[in-house]
């Protein structure tokens, strides 16, 4: 019985592309008493693996917290796997605003002490005595009340790219840091103000609202379903968005757009930008905001030091990483003095720029493509990519797509190319081809031919 992943992220991405079927990114959570989290975890893995469901899920004695990607064709079957458990019957599934077939590339289910690291001793207060849940319309109305204080219970890198207007945005890196800070900051308003809180999907507020009621706050409210449900409801009910900017998400998308406003800056040049990236240096992986121009100039790196490191031979890079604490590679959320335009804490509600065109979330489905080959190497000085053709044929004039987690999706028309060292107009399976590229490619990148 398979209980763990057997495919790499690259292999899974290839299977997803070859299948050519739409996937849905969603999230959900539930607080419940689970007697045997390990058995619960294994049962879920077997059921979800059979449905090709992927994601990052935490289970504990106190419940489940899940962010997932599910084939649209298997959505109802997936829901049936939840209905087996009484505490998940009719559970709300927060479907993402923006869809991406590659949002998750592995099914990872971990047993944890808690489903959210809040640092609280649950035995000291009633965790079921929660705040009043508000839908989007009610949330908008209470924000207009002068006696309302609205608090963002996300972290600095999340609130920086998007937040509710007028919200308190703590300059913290973890949820547990924000709880005592807000308690101290608002201690004089426990009986006179409405404490209104929000987070990405609602799970942090479930515990926080009960904690603050225990701390003596009389009027505690929370956004039902978090920003994800708010975005869905304002669209369905044609409401004004009090949220401005982008909603940060913890998957390969790194964000979904709520409004056309850009409220943050590229951390390197100051240009209006709200696209996160992870530093390409394997001994860094700092999460930061980087515009397209800086991405090209700095080759996805956060500093010149990291850029220089990536150009060293691999054996030298490994030596430099020896002894460094780089276990949390995907989302290293610390700050750096190299990021001159990093802002957090008290954030502005003023839009710095407007996105020129709304992203078409169905674009991936409309573009028909076929996998042709893989990346073997990139020659930095010559700006030439080396690829192996694994299947299909490739000809001069074909429209191609090079895709990868760091490279993104880069389209171009194939011009001059060399096949097995000789200039040619056609390449077949087994051939090695090289051609010039205006951007860097990586070993994880795939080469596709666009059919339409």
Distance (Å, whole) CA 337 – CA 420: 46
Closest residue by Cα to residue 203 from 224, 231, 221: 224
Rounded-to-integer distance, Cα 25 and Cα 118, Å: 25
User: Which of the residues 199, 273, 279, 301 is marked catalytic?
Assistant: 199
Strands 353-354 and 261-262: antiparallel
Q: At 342, is the secondary structure helix, strand, or coil? A: coil
Q: How far apart are CA 51 and CA 16, in angstroms?
A: 13
Across 40-159, where does the E strand assignment appear?
Answer: 54-60, 63-71, 94-95, 107-111, 132-134, 148-152
- Is residue 284 part of the annotated active site? The answer reads no
Q: Tell me which H or E stretch contains 184.
A: helix 175-185
How many residues in total does the chain contain? 452
Q: Is 204 helix (H, G, I), strand (E, B) or coil?
A: helix
Cα 416 from Cα 133, distance rounded (Å)? 60
Kindly report the number of other CB atoms within 10 A of residue 438's CB atom.
Answer: 8
- Could you tell me which residues come within 8 angstroms of residue 277 by beta carbon, excluding any fewer than 6 positions away? 254, 287, 288, 289, 290, 295, 300, 406
Q: From CA 122, how far away is CA 130, in angstroms rounded?
A: 13
Closest alpha carbon to 21 in 79, 134, 101: 101
**Residue located via tokens 């990291």:** 306
Phi, psi angle pair for 386, to nearest 5°: -110, 130
Q: How far apart are the first and last CA of the chain?
A: 41
Catalytic residue set:
199
């Amino acid at each position: 019985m398979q209980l763990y992943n057997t495919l790499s992220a690259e292999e899974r991405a290839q299977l997803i592309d070859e299948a050519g079927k739409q996937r849905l990114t969603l999230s959900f959570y539930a607080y419940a008493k689970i007697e045997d989290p390990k058995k619960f975890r294994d049962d879920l893995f077997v059921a979800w693996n059979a449905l090709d469901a992927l994601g990052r899920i935490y289970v504990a004695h106190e419940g489940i917290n899940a962010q997932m990607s599910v084939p649209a064709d298997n959505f109802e079957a997936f829901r049936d796997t939840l209905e087996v458990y009484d505490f998940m019957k009719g559970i709300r599934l927060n479907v993402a605003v923006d869809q991406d077939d590659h949002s998750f590339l592995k099914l990872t289910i971990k047993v944890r002490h808690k489903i959210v690291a809040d640092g609280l001793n649950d035995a000291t207060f009633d965790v079921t005595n929660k705040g009043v849940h508000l839908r989007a319309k009610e949330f908008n109305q209470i924000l207009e009340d002068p006696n309302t204080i609205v608090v963002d219970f996300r972290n600095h890198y999340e609130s920086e790219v998007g937040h509710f207007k007028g919200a308190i945005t703590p300059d913290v890196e973890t949820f547990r840091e924000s709880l005592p800070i807000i308690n101290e900051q608002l201690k004089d308003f426990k009986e006179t103000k409405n404490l209104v809180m929000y987070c990405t999907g609602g799970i942090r507020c479930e515990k926080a609202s009960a904690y603050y009621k225990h701390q003596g706050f009389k009027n505690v409210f929370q956004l039902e379903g978090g920003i994800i449900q708010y975005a869905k409801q304002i669209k369905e009910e044609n409401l004004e968005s009090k949220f401005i900017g982008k909603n940060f998400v913890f998957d390969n998308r790194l964000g979904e757009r709520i409004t056309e406003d850009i409220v943050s800056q590229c951390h390197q040049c100051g240009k209006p930008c709200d696209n996160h990236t992870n530093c390409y240096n394997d001994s860094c992986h700092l999460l930061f905001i980087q515009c397209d121009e800086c991405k090209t100039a700095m080759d996805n790196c956060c500093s010149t030091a990291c850029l220089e490191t990536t150009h060293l031979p691999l054996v030298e890079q490994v030596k430099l990483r020896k002894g460094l604490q780089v276990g949390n590679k995907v989302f290293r959320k610390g700050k750096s003095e190299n990021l001159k335009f990093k802002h957090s804490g008290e954030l502005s509600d003023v839009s710095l720029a407007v996105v020129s065109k709304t992203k078409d979330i169905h674009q991936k489905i409309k573009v028909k493509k076929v996998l042709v080959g893989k990346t073997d190497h990139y020659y930095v000085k010559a700006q030439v990519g080396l690829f192996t053709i694994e299947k299909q044929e490739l000809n001069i004039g074909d429209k191609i797509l090079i895709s990868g987690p760091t490279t993104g999706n880069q389209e171009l028309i194939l011009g001059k190319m060399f096949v097995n060292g000789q200039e040619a107009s056609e390449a077949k399976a087994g051939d090695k081809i090289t051609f010039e590229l205006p951007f860097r490619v990586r070993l994880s990148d795939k080469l596709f031919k666009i059919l339409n």
